[in-house]
Amino acid sequence: MEQKKINILTSMAEKFDVGAVLVYSSAWRKENFRYLTSLNFYGPNAVVLYIRGAASARGDVYIFLSSPYDEGRARESLEGVKEILPLNDGGASLVRVLESGRVKNLGLSDGGLFPALLARSIRDCGAEIKSAEGYIEKTRYSKTPEEVEKLRAAVNLADRAFPTFVDGISRGLNEFQIVAEVEYALKKMGAEDNFMLISTGQKEVFGMTPPMNRVAKPGDLVLTELTPQLDGWWCQICRTVVKGEPSGVQKRIFDIFMEAEEAGLALARPGVNINDVAKAENDVFRKYGYGDYITSQYTRVRGHGHGMHLDEAPTVNEGVDFVIEEGMVIVIHPNTYNPETGYMVMGDPVVVTKNGNSMLSVTERKLFQAK
pLDDT in tens, 288-310: 999 999 999 999 999 999 999 99
For residue 113, pLDDT over 70 is answered with: yes
Q: Which of 82, 107, 140 is the last residue of a domain?
A: 140
Q: Do 152 and 106 share a domain, yes or no?
A: no
Q: What is the mean pLDDT of residues 118-126?
A: 94
Question: Is the separation of the CB atoms in 9 and 37 below 8 Å?
Answer: no
For residue 214, pLDDT over 80 is answered with: yes
Q: Do 111 and 250 share a domain, yes or no?
A: no
Q: What is the mean pLDDT of residues 350-362?
A: 97
Q: Which of 13, 11, 7 is nearest to 107 (CA)?
A: 13
Q: Do 223 and 114 share a domain, yes or no?
A: no
Q: Do 135 and 241 share a domain, yes or no?
A: no
Count of C-beta atoms within a 10 Å radius of residue 157: 23
Please report the pLDDT score of residue 53 as a whole number: 84
Q: Do 186 and 299 share a domain, yes or no?
A: yes
For residue 13, pLDDT over 60 is answered with: yes
Question: Is the separation of the CB atoms in 302 and 322 below 8 Å?
Answer: no
pLDDT in tens, 90-102: 999 999 999 999 9
Q: Which of 158, 180, 300 is nearest to 234 (CA)?
A: 158
Q: Do 210 and 334 share a domain, yes or no?
A: yes
Q: Which of 132, 133, 114, 111 is nearest to 123 (CA)?
A: 114
Q: Do 174 and 151 share a domain, yes or no?
A: yes
By percentage, how much of the chain surpasses pLDDT 70? 99
Q: What is the pTM of this model?
A: 0.94
Q: Do 106 and 157 share a domain, yes or no?
A: no
Please report the pLDDT score of residue 283 as a whole number: 98
Read off the CATH number of the domain in which 149 is found: 3.90.230.10
Please report the pLDDT score of residue 168 as a whole number: 98
Average pLDDT of the chain, as a whole number: 96
Beta strands in the chain (DSSP E): 20-26, 45-51, 60-65, 83-86, 105-109, 128-131, 193-201, 221-230, 233-234, 237-243, 303-305, 312-315, 329-332, 348-352, 357-359, 368-370
Q: Which of 62, 74, 24 is nearest to 45 (CA)?
A: 24
Q: Do 175 and 297 share a domain, yes or no?
A: yes
Read off the CATH number of the domain in which 126 is found: 3.40.350.10
pLDDT in tens, 16-66: 999 999 999 999 999 999 999 999 999 999 999 999 986 556 799 999 999
Task: With both helix axes pointing from N to C terminus, report the angle between 92-100 and 116-124 in degrees, rounded to the nearest 10.
Answer: 30
Count of domains for the chain: 2
Q: Which of 140, 171, 206 is the last residue of a domain?
A: 140
Q: Which of 24, 67, 25, 23 is nearest to 43 (CA)?
A: 67
pLDDT in tens, 322-349: 999 999 999 999 999 999 999 999 999 9
Q: Do 111 and 257 share a domain, yes or no?
A: no
Q: Which of 110, 140, 170 is the last residue of a domain?
A: 140
User: What is the DSSP code (8-state) at residue 174?
Assistant: B
Q: Do 118 and 78 share a domain, yes or no?
A: yes
For residue 215, pLDDT over 60 is answered with: yes
Which residues form the domain of 196?
Answer: 145-370
Q: Do 291 and 239 share a domain, yes or no?
A: yes
Q: What is the mean pLDDT of residues 272-278?
A: 98
Q: What is the mean pLDDT of residues 266-278?
A: 98
Q: What is the mean pLDDT of residues 169-196?
A: 98
Please report the pLDDT score of residue 355 as a whole number: 94
Please report the pLDDT score of residue 54 as a whole number: 60
